Structure 1
């Protein structure tokens, strides 16, 4: 899925022409390290942006492997296709809150890191992430990632704000907008100091609900797409809330004085990974692809398409100067800035969380 154009269970980012120009225009052409020669076919069950021609064609030319993508719109679709065998895929790209579900089901083969040498250049958070590790084995290669940003208008909110608390400040009555998603439950749980974000007890969920209902006088709108959030911020209708990288980039490009609040309570984050469907380990195109998409040059091409973060620490150096400056401003090339990320995990009681979120939205202000 290209988050810039499609709504899914995980994201609703929507790039405008201005934002795409600011984030992607003029990306440098880079020399890609040639993967090992191979011939054959590689079937990807994948978000659309990850199989863009600008990424796939160089790989096909260098290896002789033909890449055939099967596009999906949600993690649930990936799980359904892999579990049923209907997708007949070699590689898939699920998010970190879905990956271990597939590993536990026995449908994913472990990765041999020695066959993906470019992983040595990954930022520490992405070399052996917990969402891909089981019994000492690695079950995927991290790829595109992003954070749920907390943003604020620095002309109206103190520029040194470092806490989620400003979202509840009565001074901002009717001037806050947050995501219409259970991630907002996670956010409130972090603010309340609950460490088990993705496995909250009934008592904790009630506390989260009460805290979010307390926020309602401040809510101008629960946004569904980041395009909505960008419009609210640029028009001065709201002074802050939650969003994604594209909103920040668009607002910065428009000259808005908007800050990326690095909340001390933590921020949510997702990471997609390439995973080998069991039975595809011997496909001679699998490891050449995994190595190719792990190189800084290939990840720079991917960033040009998606705008997401990528794990190779050398990727930023492959971007043109303007794009690299924005990437670094977002903290995506600095592993230290990612130290306080509450990476998404499976939520066993997702139905209960959704019930609580719906009760929050239905509650009177």
Structure 2
């Protein structure tokens, strides 16, 4: 985030980014080769185009804001013309990847393991991506972007789901998630929460600290009893929630009007509020927090695998990664990217101690991601069903 113009910029990206120039008649070289495997020593001829599926704001070509463009340089350097499509939720992204229409996807941790398990994305040979070497080590080979030590992509940026509060109303300044859970009745009707099944993990983070007897070691690895406790906590919170949000603009508005006074948020939202003079602050509570570390992945049946590898290297390069993550409002994936940003400190970029307090979104699966083998964990389908019940 380089300035408080973030609100204006993302308002523009709320309009779905249409297709960028397509190179007519382009196909894969050599009659269509398979995606390079993790054993590949080198890449082949660039195919001339690449199709990318991503969050709004991740693939900018200057059409939303002439000053925001990291696509044109890629096209000029590689000859790979970019076609992009945006999605609004991780569920939508997983569904779209099944069409086989995309070479590359930027996926959050609540989608990555689903994509891997379905065989929709391929293992990635990071030796073919020079920029990967500079990526923070604490983002590499994690449970949301690798399996058994095999990488399935390149980290993009990361951030924490923080506690946002109105300093005029919520006193004293909170240091715990208690204000939105066990203490939510003090601000009944003015609590806000992120609208997604993955929010169940936020309740699990709180329970890890406040009900240790449950034995939760990872908020994305919940057995039946642990899951039931998290769901019960959210059902108890429900009467005090004024609004569940997924559109960051709506949360900004709710805090500006005073309709919301405490709830989960992103650093960029606080930046926009502060820029507008709002009486709000954010804190990473003592229990820790959930968060995200998005991953650029390559489709297992990519039609342009070589251009796909070229994109992964480009988007992870310091200057480009700085532009893209600043525009979206998150920490970059490398320290070198901070040479091109003036706000890395605000996002705690490279702060390993801070990052260690974040439980990055990870797809809940039956095989417990905390390593337990004596129980079966509740999978994402059950999380989705429970979320519908929680909201009523």
Q: TM-score, normalised by structure 2?
A: 0.73
3-state SS of paired residue (2:48): strand
3-state SS of paired residue (1:98): helix
- 2:47 aligns with one of 20, 25, 40: 40
Q: Could you say which residue in structure 1 is the equivalent of 2:8? A: 17
What is the Cα deviation at residue 196 of structure 1?
4.0
Cα distance in 1, alignment partners of residues 135 and 273 from structure 2: 29
5+ residue gaps, structure 2:
1-5, 13-42, 62-68, 209-215, 366-378
Superimposed CA distance per residue, residues 106-141 of structure 1 (whole angstroms, 9 cap, x where no aligned partner): 443322222222222222222222222223221111
Paired residues in the alignment total 327
Does structure 2 conserve the Cα–Cα contact (< 8 Å) formed by 1:43 and 1:90? yes
After alignment, is 137-146 or 204-213 more displaced? 204-213
What is the Cα deviation at residue 199 of structure 1?
3.9
Correspondence 1:1-365 to 2 at 5 A: 16-17=7-8, 39-47=46-54, 48-53=56-61, 54-85=69-100, 87=101, 89-158=102-171, 161-167=174-180, 168-169=182-183, 170-193=185-208, 194-216=216-238, 218-278=240-300, 280=302, 283-319=305-341, 324-325=342-343, 327-348=344-365, 349-362=379-392
Does structure 1 conserve the Cα–Cα contact (< 8 Å) formed by 2:70 and 2:323? yes
Cα distance in 2, alignment partners of residues 177 and 305 from structure 1: 25
Cα distance in 1, alignment partners of residues 244 and 93 from structure 2: 28
3-state SS of paired residue (2:278): coil
Distance 1:119 1:160, change over 3 A: farther
Does structure 1 conserve the Cα–Cα contact (< 8 Å) formed by 2:49 and 2:304? no
Cα distance in 2, alignment partners of residues 18 and 107 from structure 1: 32
What is the Cα deviation at residue 282 of structure 1?
8.1
Does structure 2 conserve the Cα–Cα contact (< 8 Å) formed by 1:109 and 1:281? no
Distance 1:129 1:150, change over 3 A: same
What is the Cα deviation at residue 143 of structure 1?
1.1
What is the Cα deviation at residue 162 of structure 1?
2.4
Cα distance in 2, alignment partners of residues 146 and 280 from structure 1: 29
What is the Cα deviation at residue 212 of structure 1?
2.6
3-state SS of paired residue (2:132): helix
Q: Could you say which residue in structure 2 is the equivalent of 1:30? A: none
3-state SS of paired residue (2:359): strand
What is the Cα deviation at residue 253 of structure 1?
0.8
3-state SS of paired residue (1:269): strand
Distance 1:174 1:90, change over 3 A: closer
Cα distance in 2, alignment partners of residues 72 and 334 from structure 1: 30
Does structure 1 conserve the Cα–Cα contact (< 8 Å) formed by 2:177 and 2:285? yes
Does structure 2 conserve the Cα–Cα contact (< 8 Å) formed by 1:37 and 1:64? no
Does structure 2 conserve the Cα–Cα contact (< 8 Å) formed by 1:296 and 1:314? yes
3-state SS of paired residue (1:268): strand
Does structure 2 conserve the Cα–Cα contact (< 8 Å) formed by 1:233 and 1:239? yes
Does structure 2 conserve the Cα–Cα contact (< 8 Å) formed by 1:38 and 1:65? no
